[in-house]
Amino acid sequence: MSELIRVPDLGGEGEVIELLVKVGDRVEAEQSVLTLESDKASMEVPVPKAGVIKELKVKLGDRLKEGDELLVLEVEGAAPTAEPVAAAVAAEVPTAAEAPPAVAPAAAPAAASVQDVHVPDIGTSGKVKVIEVLVKAGDSIEADQSLITLESDKASMEIPAPAAGVVEEVVIKLDAEVGTGDLILKLRVAGGANEAAAAPAAAPAPASEPVHRTPPGAKPEVAAEVGAIAALAAAAAAVTPPVRDGSKVHAGPAVRMTAREFGVDLAAVPGTGPKGRILKEDVQNYVKAMLQKAKDAPAAGAAGGAGIPPIPEVDFSKFGPVEEVPMTRLMQVGAANLHRSWLNVPHVTQFDSADITELEAFRVAQKAVAEKAGVKLTVLPLLLKACAHLLRELPDFNSSLAPSGKALIRKKYVHIGFAVDTPDGLLVPVIRDVDQKSLLQLAAEAAELAEKARTKKLSPDAMQGACFTISSLGHIGGTGFTPIVNAPEVAILGVSKATMQPVWDGKAFQPRLMLPLSLSYDHRVINGAAAARFTKRLGDVLGDIRTLLL
Protein backbone atom coordinates (compact mmCIF):
# COMPACT_ATOMS: atom_id res chain seq x y z
CA MET A 1 0.00 0.00 0.00
CA SER A 2 1.45 3.37 -1.04
CA GLU A 3 1.36 6.20 1.46
CA LEU A 4 2.22 9.89 1.01
CA ILE A 5 4.64 11.04 3.71
CA ARG A 6 4.60 14.74 4.63
CA VAL A 7 7.01 16.98 6.53
CA PRO A 8 6.31 16.82 10.29
CA ASP A 9 6.18 19.82 12.63
CA LEU A 10 9.64 21.42 12.50
CA GLY A 11 8.88 24.68 14.28
CA GLY A 12 9.68 26.65 11.13
CA GLU A 13 10.93 26.48 7.56
CA GLY A 14 14.12 24.70 6.47
CA GLU A 15 16.23 24.04 3.38
CA VAL A 16 17.00 20.54 2.12
CA ILE A 17 20.78 20.25 2.37
CA GLU A 18 21.10 16.46 2.17
CA LEU A 19 19.09 13.56 0.73
CA LEU A 20 19.91 10.35 2.59
CA VAL A 21 17.84 7.98 0.42
CA LYS A 22 16.91 7.42 -3.23
CA VAL A 23 14.03 5.82 -5.10
CA GLY A 24 14.02 2.08 -4.53
CA ASP A 25 15.71 2.19 -1.14
CA ARG A 26 14.17 0.17 1.68
CA VAL A 27 13.88 2.16 4.95
CA GLU A 28 13.08 1.25 8.54
CA ALA A 29 10.64 3.10 10.77
CA GLU A 30 12.22 6.28 12.20
CA GLN A 31 15.09 6.11 9.67
CA SER A 32 16.26 9.55 8.53
CA VAL A 33 15.59 10.32 4.87
CA LEU A 34 16.84 13.91 4.52
CA THR A 35 18.49 16.75 6.41
CA LEU A 36 16.91 20.20 6.73
CA GLU A 37 18.74 23.33 7.82
CA SER A 38 16.98 26.35 9.30
CA ASP A 39 18.43 29.65 10.47
CA LYS A 40 19.24 28.16 13.88
CA ALA A 41 19.74 24.42 13.47
CA SER A 42 19.98 21.42 11.18
CA MET A 43 17.78 18.39 11.72
CA GLU A 44 17.25 14.99 10.15
CA VAL A 45 13.68 14.08 9.16
CA PRO A 46 12.65 10.43 9.71
CA VAL A 47 9.89 8.33 8.10
CA PRO A 48 7.20 7.07 10.47
CA LYS A 49 6.98 3.59 8.93
CA ALA A 50 9.10 0.94 7.24
CA GLY A 51 8.82 0.42 3.51
CA VAL A 52 10.29 1.10 0.07
CA ILE A 53 10.80 4.57 -1.42
CA LYS A 54 8.59 4.80 -4.53
CA GLU A 55 8.97 8.50 -5.31
CA LEU A 56 10.85 11.52 -3.89
CA LYS A 57 8.82 14.73 -3.93
CA VAL A 58 11.76 17.01 -2.96
CA LYS A 59 15.23 17.83 -4.20
CA LEU A 60 18.34 19.48 -2.80
CA GLY A 61 17.88 23.19 -2.16
CA ASP A 62 14.08 23.03 -1.71
CA ARG A 63 12.64 24.96 1.23
CA LEU A 64 10.11 22.93 3.18
CA LYS A 65 7.63 23.57 5.96
CA GLU A 66 5.21 21.48 7.98
CA GLY A 67 2.75 19.56 5.77
CA ASP A 68 4.75 19.74 2.50
CA GLU A 69 4.91 16.53 0.46
CA LEU A 70 8.08 14.56 1.15
CA LEU A 71 7.93 11.17 -0.57
CA VAL A 72 5.72 8.24 -1.53
CA LEU A 73 6.38 5.15 0.59
CA GLU A 74 5.27 1.62 -0.26
CA VAL A 75 4.43 0.47 3.24
CA GLU A 76 5.37 -3.13 3.99
CA GLY A 77 2.64 -5.75 4.39
CA ALA A 78 2.85 -6.00 8.19
CA ALA A 79 0.63 -3.02 8.82
CA PRO A 80 -2.23 -3.90 6.39
CA THR A 81 -2.45 -7.47 7.71
CA ALA A 82 -2.92 -6.18 11.22
CA GLU A 83 -6.60 -5.41 10.60
CA PRO A 84 -7.60 -8.90 9.30
CA VAL A 85 -5.80 -10.52 12.21
CA ALA A 86 -7.60 -8.25 14.65
CA ALA A 87 -10.92 -9.01 12.93
CA ALA A 88 -10.30 -12.73 13.16
CA VAL A 89 -9.56 -12.49 16.86
CA ALA A 90 -12.70 -10.43 17.36
CA ALA A 91 -14.79 -13.04 15.51
CA GLU A 92 -13.41 -15.96 17.49
CA VAL A 93 -13.68 -14.26 20.87
CA PRO A 94 -17.00 -12.43 21.25
CA THR A 95 -15.95 -10.89 24.58
CA ALA A 96 -13.10 -9.04 22.89
CA ALA A 97 -15.45 -6.16 22.17
CA GLU A 98 -15.72 -5.59 25.88
CA ALA A 99 -11.95 -5.16 26.27
CA PRO A 100 -11.80 -1.39 25.54
CA PRO A 101 -14.18 -0.44 28.39
CA ALA A 102 -11.94 -2.44 30.71
CA VAL A 103 -9.22 0.16 30.19
CA ALA A 104 -11.40 3.05 31.32
CA PRO A 105 -11.73 2.04 34.98
CA ALA A 106 -7.94 2.17 35.35
CA ALA A 107 -7.97 5.87 34.53
CA ALA A 108 -11.12 6.71 36.44
CA PRO A 109 -9.65 6.66 40.01
CA ALA A 110 -7.06 9.29 39.06
CA ALA A 111 -8.32 12.53 40.57
CA ALA A 112 -4.98 14.10 39.67
CA SER A 113 -2.57 13.35 36.82
CA VAL A 114 1.20 13.13 36.78
CA GLN A 115 2.48 15.32 33.99
CA ASP A 116 5.96 15.21 32.46
CA VAL A 117 7.51 18.67 32.28
CA HIS A 118 10.05 19.03 29.48
CA VAL A 119 12.58 21.69 28.50
CA PRO A 120 10.75 24.06 26.11
CA ASP A 121 12.23 25.51 22.92
CA ILE A 122 15.30 27.40 24.16
CA GLY A 123 16.28 28.88 20.81
CA THR A 124 19.33 26.67 20.20
CA SER A 125 19.84 23.18 18.80
CA GLY A 126 22.71 22.36 21.15
CA LYS A 127 22.90 21.48 24.85
CA VAL A 128 22.89 24.00 27.69
CA LYS A 129 24.00 23.63 31.28
CA VAL A 130 21.72 23.38 34.32
CA ILE A 131 23.21 25.87 36.80
CA GLU A 132 20.33 25.93 39.32
CA VAL A 133 17.61 23.51 40.39
CA LEU A 134 15.02 25.64 42.20
CA VAL A 135 12.58 22.93 43.37
CA LYS A 136 12.69 19.49 44.98
CA ALA A 137 10.38 16.50 45.27
CA GLY A 138 7.35 17.29 47.43
CA ASP A 139 7.35 21.04 46.72
CA SER A 140 4.01 22.69 45.86
CA ILE A 141 4.49 25.09 42.97
CA GLU A 142 2.40 27.64 41.12
CA ALA A 143 1.98 28.01 37.37
CA ASP A 144 4.89 29.95 35.82
CA GLN A 145 7.05 29.44 38.93
CA SER A 146 10.70 28.94 37.95
CA LEU A 147 11.90 25.34 38.12
CA ILE A 148 15.50 25.46 36.90
CA THR A 149 18.01 27.92 35.50
CA LEU A 150 19.82 27.10 32.25
CA GLU A 151 22.92 28.80 30.92
CA SER A 152 23.85 28.76 27.24
CA ASP A 153 26.79 30.30 25.42
CA LYS A 154 24.97 33.63 25.23
CA ALA A 155 22.52 33.87 28.10
CA SER A 156 21.03 32.31 31.19
CA MET A 157 17.30 31.71 31.48
CA GLU A 158 14.81 30.36 33.99
CA ILE A 159 12.36 27.65 32.90
CA PRO A 160 8.85 28.09 34.42
CA ALA A 161 6.28 25.45 35.37
CA PRO A 162 3.45 25.03 32.83
CA ALA A 163 0.88 24.43 35.58
CA ALA A 164 0.40 24.41 39.35
CA GLY A 165 0.89 21.17 41.26
CA VAL A 166 3.18 19.10 43.44
CA VAL A 167 6.62 17.95 42.31
CA GLU A 168 6.63 14.14 42.25
CA GLU A 169 10.20 13.62 41.06
CA VAL A 170 13.02 15.86 39.85
CA VAL A 171 14.70 14.03 36.98
CA ILE A 172 17.16 16.71 35.91
CA LYS A 173 20.48 17.08 37.75
CA LEU A 174 22.59 20.11 38.61
CA ASP A 175 25.38 20.75 36.03
CA ALA A 176 23.70 18.39 33.53
CA GLU A 177 23.72 19.32 29.83
CA VAL A 178 20.17 19.40 28.47
CA GLY A 179 18.38 20.37 25.27
CA THR A 180 14.88 21.11 23.98
CA GLY A 181 12.49 18.28 24.90
CA ASP A 182 14.54 16.77 27.74
CA LEU A 183 12.57 15.74 30.84
CA ILE A 184 12.88 18.13 33.79
CA LEU A 185 10.52 16.63 36.37
CA LYS A 186 7.25 14.86 36.99
CA LEU A 187 4.45 17.11 38.25
CA ARG A 188 1.22 15.97 39.89
CA VAL A 189 -1.44 18.33 38.59
CA ALA A 190 -4.68 18.64 40.59
CA GLY A 191 -7.93 17.89 38.75
CA GLY A 192 -6.11 16.52 35.69
CA ALA A 193 -8.56 13.69 35.00
CA ASN A 194 -8.91 14.69 31.37
CA GLU A 195 -5.18 14.61 30.83
CA ALA A 196 -4.91 11.28 32.64
CA ALA A 197 -7.63 9.78 30.51
CA ALA A 198 -5.92 10.91 27.35
CA ALA A 199 -2.83 8.84 28.10
CA PRO A 200 -4.47 5.35 27.86
CA ALA A 201 -6.16 6.38 24.61
CA ALA A 202 -2.78 7.03 23.04
CA ALA A 203 -1.17 3.95 24.54
CA PRO A 204 -2.45 1.32 22.02
CA ALA A 205 -0.69 3.11 19.12
CA PRO A 206 2.79 1.72 19.86
CA ALA A 207 1.34 -1.81 20.01
CA SER A 208 1.76 -2.22 16.27
CA GLU A 209 5.31 -0.91 16.32
CA PRO A 210 7.42 -3.69 17.92
CA VAL A 211 7.91 -5.32 14.51
CA HIS A 212 9.53 -2.12 13.27
CA ARG A 213 11.38 -1.28 16.48
CA THR A 214 13.01 -4.66 16.98
CA PRO A 215 15.66 -4.25 14.24
CA PRO A 216 16.82 -0.83 15.51
CA GLY A 217 17.10 -2.34 18.98
CA ALA A 218 20.56 -3.60 18.20
CA LYS A 219 21.74 -0.28 16.87
CA PRO A 220 22.82 1.57 20.06
CA GLU A 221 25.71 -0.85 20.68
CA VAL A 222 26.81 -0.64 17.08
CA ALA A 223 26.37 3.12 17.07
CA ALA A 224 28.41 3.46 20.27
CA GLU A 225 31.20 1.36 18.82
CA VAL A 226 31.16 3.26 15.53
CA GLY A 227 31.08 6.57 17.43
CA ALA A 228 34.12 5.60 19.50
CA ILE A 229 36.04 4.49 16.41
CA ALA A 230 34.99 7.66 14.55
CA ALA A 231 36.14 9.85 17.44
CA LEU A 232 39.53 8.17 17.45
CA ALA A 233 39.74 8.43 13.66
CA ALA A 234 38.84 12.13 13.77
CA ALA A 235 41.47 12.84 16.40
CA ALA A 236 44.10 10.93 14.47
CA ALA A 237 43.18 12.51 11.15
CA ALA A 238 43.23 15.99 12.69
CA VAL A 239 47.00 15.81 13.10
CA THR A 240 47.30 15.64 9.32
CA PRO A 241 44.10 17.42 8.25
CA PRO A 242 42.70 16.75 4.79
CA VAL A 243 42.56 19.49 2.20
CA ARG A 244 38.99 20.31 1.27
CA ASP A 245 37.02 23.05 -0.39
CA GLY A 246 35.71 25.08 2.56
CA SER A 247 32.63 26.17 0.60
CA LYS A 248 31.44 22.55 0.36
CA VAL A 249 31.73 21.64 4.03
CA HIS A 250 28.62 19.87 5.37
CA ALA A 251 27.91 21.22 8.85
CA GLY A 252 24.95 22.75 10.66
CA PRO A 253 24.79 26.25 12.20
CA ALA A 254 25.53 25.00 15.73
CA VAL A 255 28.66 23.20 14.51
CA ARG A 256 29.78 26.25 12.54
CA MET A 257 29.31 28.43 15.64
CA THR A 258 31.44 26.01 17.68
CA ALA A 259 34.12 26.13 14.99
CA ARG A 260 34.09 29.93 14.99
CA GLU A 261 34.44 30.02 18.78
CA PHE A 262 37.56 27.83 18.60
CA GLY A 263 38.89 29.53 15.45
CA VAL A 264 38.79 26.24 13.52
CA ASP A 265 38.71 26.00 9.72
CA LEU A 266 35.99 23.41 9.04
CA ALA A 267 37.65 22.49 5.76
CA ALA A 268 40.39 20.82 7.84
CA VAL A 269 38.04 18.81 10.08
CA PRO A 270 37.22 15.18 9.13
CA GLY A 271 33.48 14.53 9.38
CA THR A 272 32.16 11.33 10.92
CA GLY A 273 28.43 11.98 10.33
CA PRO A 274 26.35 10.62 7.45
CA LYS A 275 28.12 11.20 4.13
CA GLY A 276 31.00 13.00 5.83
CA ARG A 277 28.86 15.54 7.68
CA ILE A 278 30.84 17.34 10.41
CA LEU A 279 29.46 16.92 13.92
CA LYS A 280 30.13 19.04 17.01
CA GLU A 281 32.17 16.15 18.44
CA ASP A 282 34.37 16.19 15.32
CA VAL A 283 35.29 19.83 15.96
CA GLN A 284 36.00 19.10 19.63
CA ASN A 285 38.18 16.10 18.76
CA TYR A 286 40.04 18.17 16.19
CA VAL A 287 40.74 20.90 18.76
CA LYS A 288 41.92 18.32 21.31
CA ALA A 289 44.26 16.78 18.75
CA MET A 290 45.68 20.16 17.77
CA LEU A 291 46.20 21.12 21.43
CA GLN A 292 47.94 17.83 22.08
CA LYS A 293 50.09 18.31 19.00
CA ALA A 294 51.05 21.81 20.16
CA LYS A 295 51.83 20.48 23.64
CA ASP A 296 54.03 17.73 22.22
CA ALA A 297 56.04 20.18 20.14
CA PRO A 298 56.03 23.59 21.88
CA ALA A 299 59.40 24.60 20.48
CA ALA A 300 58.28 24.06 16.91
CA GLY A 301 55.09 26.07 17.50
CA ALA A 302 57.01 28.99 18.98
CA ALA A 303 59.52 28.96 16.17
CA GLY A 304 56.75 29.03 13.58
CA GLY A 305 55.28 32.21 15.08
CA ALA A 306 51.72 30.89 14.70
CA GLY A 307 50.88 31.15 18.40
CA ILE A 308 51.08 33.86 21.04
CA PRO A 309 53.60 33.37 23.86
CA PRO A 310 51.59 32.33 26.92
CA ILE A 311 51.55 34.34 30.13
CA PRO A 312 53.62 32.39 32.66
CA GLU A 313 51.74 30.68 35.48
CA VAL A 314 52.31 32.29 38.86
CA ASP A 315 51.64 30.84 42.30
CA PHE A 316 50.10 33.95 43.87
CA SER A 317 49.60 32.20 47.21
CA LYS A 318 53.29 32.60 47.99
CA PHE A 319 52.73 36.37 48.15
CA GLY A 320 49.70 36.24 50.44
CA PRO A 321 46.18 34.79 50.90
CA VAL A 322 44.22 34.18 47.68
CA GLU A 323 40.78 32.93 46.66
CA GLU A 324 39.92 31.32 43.33
CA VAL A 325 36.46 32.39 42.13
CA PRO A 326 35.11 30.48 39.10
CA MET A 327 33.93 32.58 36.16
CA THR A 328 30.34 32.07 35.02
CA ARG A 329 29.89 30.44 31.65
CA LEU A 330 28.69 33.77 30.24
CA MET A 331 31.89 35.43 31.40
CA GLN A 332 34.00 32.64 29.89
CA VAL A 333 32.23 32.79 26.53
CA GLY A 334 32.29 36.59 26.55
CA ALA A 335 36.03 36.59 27.22
CA ALA A 336 36.62 34.14 24.36
CA ASN A 337 34.50 36.21 21.95
CA LEU A 338 36.25 39.46 22.86
CA HIS A 339 39.66 37.81 22.54
CA ARG A 340 38.75 36.42 19.13
CA SER A 341 37.51 39.81 17.91
CA TRP A 342 40.61 41.56 19.23
CA LEU A 343 42.92 39.11 17.45
CA ASN A 344 41.01 39.07 14.15
CA VAL A 345 39.90 42.68 13.75
CA PRO A 346 42.41 45.54 13.19
CA HIS A 347 40.91 48.04 15.62
CA VAL A 348 41.04 51.82 15.39
CA THR A 349 39.09 54.16 17.69
CA GLN A 350 37.85 57.61 16.66
CA PHE A 351 37.17 60.04 19.53
CA ASP A 352 34.79 62.97 19.31
CA SER A 353 32.18 64.80 21.38
CA ALA A 354 28.63 65.94 20.72
CA ASP A 355 26.86 69.00 22.08
CA ILE A 356 23.66 67.56 23.55
CA THR A 357 22.49 70.68 25.42
CA GLU A 358 19.37 71.04 23.27
CA LEU A 359 18.85 67.28 23.13
CA GLU A 360 18.81 67.05 26.92
CA ALA A 361 16.35 69.96 27.10
CA PHE A 362 14.10 68.12 24.62
CA ARG A 363 14.36 64.87 26.61
CA VAL A 364 13.41 66.61 29.86
CA ALA A 365 10.52 68.42 28.16
CA GLN A 366 9.11 65.10 26.91
CA LYS A 367 9.42 63.42 30.31
CA ALA A 368 5.74 63.86 31.15
CA VAL A 369 4.66 62.52 27.74
CA ALA A 370 6.86 59.44 28.22
CA GLU A 371 5.58 58.81 31.75
CA LYS A 372 2.02 59.03 30.47
CA ALA A 373 2.92 56.30 27.96
CA GLY A 374 4.37 54.23 30.79
CA VAL A 375 8.05 54.50 29.76
CA LYS A 376 11.16 56.32 30.92
CA LEU A 377 12.82 58.37 28.20
CA THR A 378 16.61 58.16 28.60
CA VAL A 379 19.39 59.19 26.22
CA LEU A 380 19.67 55.61 24.85
CA PRO A 381 16.56 55.71 22.60
CA LEU A 382 17.80 59.01 21.14
CA LEU A 383 21.22 57.45 20.45
CA LEU A 384 19.56 54.40 18.87
CA LYS A 385 17.47 56.59 16.58
CA ALA A 386 20.43 58.74 15.57
CA CYS A 387 22.68 55.74 14.87
CA ALA A 388 19.95 54.02 12.84
CA HIS A 389 19.71 57.14 10.67
CA LEU A 390 23.48 57.11 10.09
CA LEU A 391 23.58 53.39 9.29
CA ARG A 392 21.18 54.13 6.44
CA GLU A 393 23.14 57.19 5.39
CA LEU A 394 26.59 55.50 5.59
CA PRO A 395 25.87 51.86 4.60
CA ASP A 396 29.44 50.60 5.03
CA PHE A 397 28.87 50.83 8.79
CA ASN A 398 25.85 48.55 8.31
CA SER A 399 27.85 45.79 6.66
CA SER A 400 30.08 42.79 7.36
CA LEU A 401 33.18 41.56 5.62
CA ALA A 402 32.45 38.48 3.50
CA PRO A 403 34.31 35.30 4.57
CA SER A 404 36.36 35.51 1.38
CA GLY A 405 37.57 38.97 2.39
CA LYS A 406 36.77 40.18 -1.13
CA ALA A 407 33.31 41.70 -0.66
CA LEU A 408 31.07 43.53 1.79
CA ILE A 409 27.70 42.15 2.84
CA ARG A 410 25.46 45.20 3.18
CA LYS A 411 22.37 44.69 5.32
CA LYS A 412 19.03 46.13 4.28
CA TYR A 413 17.79 46.05 7.87
CA VAL A 414 18.86 48.06 10.92
CA HIS A 415 19.16 45.99 14.10
CA ILE A 416 21.19 47.55 16.93
CA GLY A 417 22.52 45.87 20.06
CA PHE A 418 23.15 47.65 23.35
CA ALA A 419 25.36 46.43 26.18
CA VAL A 420 23.74 45.56 29.52
CA ASP A 421 25.78 45.00 32.67
CA THR A 422 24.43 42.02 34.67
CA PRO A 423 25.76 40.16 37.74
CA ASP A 424 26.63 37.19 35.50
CA GLY A 425 28.47 39.17 32.85
CA LEU A 426 27.95 41.45 29.86
CA LEU A 427 24.91 40.78 27.65
CA VAL A 428 23.99 42.51 24.39
CA PRO A 429 20.25 42.33 23.59
CA VAL A 430 19.25 43.43 20.09
CA ILE A 431 16.45 45.79 19.07
CA ARG A 432 15.23 45.01 15.56
CA ASP A 433 14.20 47.54 12.90
CA VAL A 434 15.29 50.51 14.99
CA ASP A 435 14.80 52.86 12.04
CA GLN A 436 11.09 51.97 11.89
CA LYS A 437 10.25 52.59 15.57
CA SER A 438 9.40 55.71 17.54
CA LEU A 439 11.40 57.00 20.49
CA LEU A 440 8.78 55.78 22.95
CA GLN A 441 8.71 52.34 21.34
CA LEU A 442 12.50 52.15 21.55
CA ALA A 443 12.47 53.28 25.19
CA ALA A 444 9.90 50.62 26.12
CA GLU A 445 11.67 47.82 24.23
CA ALA A 446 15.12 48.74 25.58
CA ALA A 447 13.80 48.76 29.17
CA GLU A 448 12.07 45.40 28.68
CA LEU A 449 15.16 43.73 27.17
CA ALA A 450 17.45 45.15 29.85
CA GLU A 451 15.16 43.81 32.59
CA LYS A 452 15.07 40.37 30.96
CA ALA A 453 18.86 40.39 30.76
CA ARG A 454 19.22 41.17 34.46
CA THR A 455 16.62 38.56 35.52
CA LYS A 456 18.02 35.75 33.32
CA LYS A 457 14.98 35.65 31.04
CA LEU A 458 16.68 36.79 27.84
CA SER A 459 16.52 34.17 25.08
CA PRO A 460 19.48 33.54 22.73
CA ASP A 461 17.38 34.76 19.79
CA ALA A 462 17.10 38.17 21.45
CA MET A 463 20.90 38.60 21.23
CA GLN A 464 21.42 37.75 17.57
CA GLY A 465 21.36 39.66 14.32
CA ALA A 466 22.83 43.03 15.36
CA CYS A 467 24.36 45.29 12.70
CA PHE A 468 25.92 47.74 15.17
CA THR A 469 26.38 48.01 18.95
CA ILE A 470 26.16 50.82 21.49
CA SER A 471 28.02 50.52 24.80
CA SER A 472 27.13 53.32 27.22
CA LEU A 473 29.04 53.95 30.44
CA GLY A 474 27.62 57.42 30.93
CA HIS A 475 25.65 56.44 34.01
CA ILE A 476 28.90 55.34 35.68
CA GLY A 477 31.48 57.88 34.52
CA GLY A 478 34.61 58.24 32.43
CA THR A 479 35.76 60.54 29.65
CA GLY A 480 36.39 57.92 26.95
CA PHE A 481 37.30 54.30 26.29
CA THR A 482 38.12 51.95 23.41
CA PRO A 483 35.27 49.43 22.98
CA ILE A 484 36.04 46.17 21.15
CA VAL A 485 34.17 45.59 17.90
CA ASN A 486 31.64 42.78 18.17
CA ALA A 487 32.65 40.90 15.00
CA PRO A 488 31.26 40.26 12.41
CA GLU A 489 29.92 43.79 12.96
CA VAL A 490 32.36 46.45 11.76
CA ALA A 491 31.82 49.20 14.34
CA ILE A 492 30.76 49.88 17.91
CA LEU A 493 29.93 53.20 19.60
CA GLY A 494 31.17 53.87 23.12
CA VAL A 495 29.40 56.59 25.09
CA SER A 496 30.87 58.16 28.23
CA LYS A 497 29.50 60.58 30.82
CA ALA A 498 28.22 63.96 29.58
CA THR A 499 29.70 67.00 31.36
CA MET A 500 29.19 70.75 31.23
CA GLN A 501 32.14 72.39 29.44
CA PRO A 502 32.95 75.90 28.25
CA VAL A 503 32.58 76.09 24.45
CA TRP A 504 33.65 79.12 22.39
CA ASP A 505 30.77 80.37 20.21
CA GLY A 506 32.86 82.95 18.36
CA LYS A 507 32.24 85.70 20.87
CA ALA A 508 32.35 84.14 24.30
CA PHE A 509 32.57 80.85 26.15
CA GLN A 510 29.19 79.28 26.75
CA PRO A 511 28.38 76.38 29.11
CA ARG A 512 27.39 73.39 26.95
CA LEU A 513 26.58 69.77 27.84
CA MET A 514 29.14 67.69 25.92
CA LEU A 515 28.84 63.94 25.37
CA PRO A 516 32.12 62.03 24.73
CA LEU A 517 31.92 59.53 21.83
CA SER A 518 34.34 56.66 21.08
CA LEU A 519 33.81 54.87 17.75
CA SER A 520 35.87 51.68 17.35
CA TYR A 521 35.84 50.20 13.85
CA ASP A 522 37.27 47.44 11.67
CA HIS A 523 39.97 49.12 9.59
CA ARG A 524 39.62 46.48 6.86
CA VAL A 525 36.17 47.90 6.08
CA ILE A 526 36.13 51.44 7.49
CA ASN A 527 38.87 53.98 6.87
CA GLY A 528 39.72 56.88 9.15
CA ALA A 529 37.99 59.52 7.05
CA ALA A 530 34.72 57.57 7.02
CA ALA A 531 34.90 57.14 10.81
CA ALA A 532 35.47 60.87 11.28
CA ARG A 533 32.46 61.62 9.05
CA PHE A 534 30.33 59.22 11.12
CA THR A 535 31.14 60.84 14.48
CA LYS A 536 30.83 64.33 12.94
CA ARG A 537 27.37 63.53 11.50
CA LEU A 538 26.34 61.87 14.75
CA GLY A 539 27.31 65.03 16.61
CA ASP A 540 25.26 67.12 14.18
CA VAL A 541 22.18 64.90 14.56
CA LEU A 542 22.43 64.79 18.36
CA GLY A 543 22.99 68.56 18.38
CA ASP A 544 19.63 69.08 16.67
CA ILE A 545 17.42 65.98 16.69
CA ARG A 546 14.98 67.77 14.37
CA THR A 547 17.31 67.03 11.45
CA LEU A 548 15.99 63.45 11.51
CA LEU A 549 12.74 64.84 10.09
CA LEU A 550 14.43 66.16 6.95
In a domain, 433, yes or no: yes
437 CB-near residues (< 8 Å, 6+ apart): 431, 445
In a domain, 118, yes or no: yes
For residues 388 and 496, state if they share a domain. yes
For residues 60 and 134, state if they share a domain. no
Q: Which of 86-100, 321-335, 485-499 has the highest mean pLDDT?
A: 485-499
- Numbers of helices and strands, H then E, in the chain: 14, 27
Q: How far is CA 229 from CA 15, 224, 235, 250, 352, in A?
A: 31, 9, 10, 20, 59
212, 389, 475, 523: the catalytic one is 523
133-177 residue pLDDT tens = 999 998 999 888 889 988 876 667 788 888 899 999 999 999 899
For residues 40 and 183, state if they share a domain. no
For residues 231 and 379, state if they share a domain. no
In a domain, 364, yes or no: yes
Quick one: pLDDT band at residue 100, thresholds 50, 70, 90? Answer: very low
For residues 403 and 259, state if they share a domain. no
Question: Does the predicted TM-score (pTM) go above 0.85?
Answer: no
In a domain, 362, yes or no: yes
For residues 358 and 233, state if they share a domain. no
238-293 residue pLDDT tens = 444 444 444 457 777 677 878 887 888 888 899 887 767 888 888 889 988 888 77
For residues 367 and 505, state if they share a domain. yes
pLDDT at 291: 82
Residue span of the structural domain in which 292 resides: 218-303
Q: Three-state DSSP class for 32?
A: strand
For residues 498 and 539, state if they share a domain. yes
Instruction: Please say if 523 is a catalytic residue.
Output: yes
Number of domains within the chain:
4
For residues 245 and 374, state if they share a domain. no
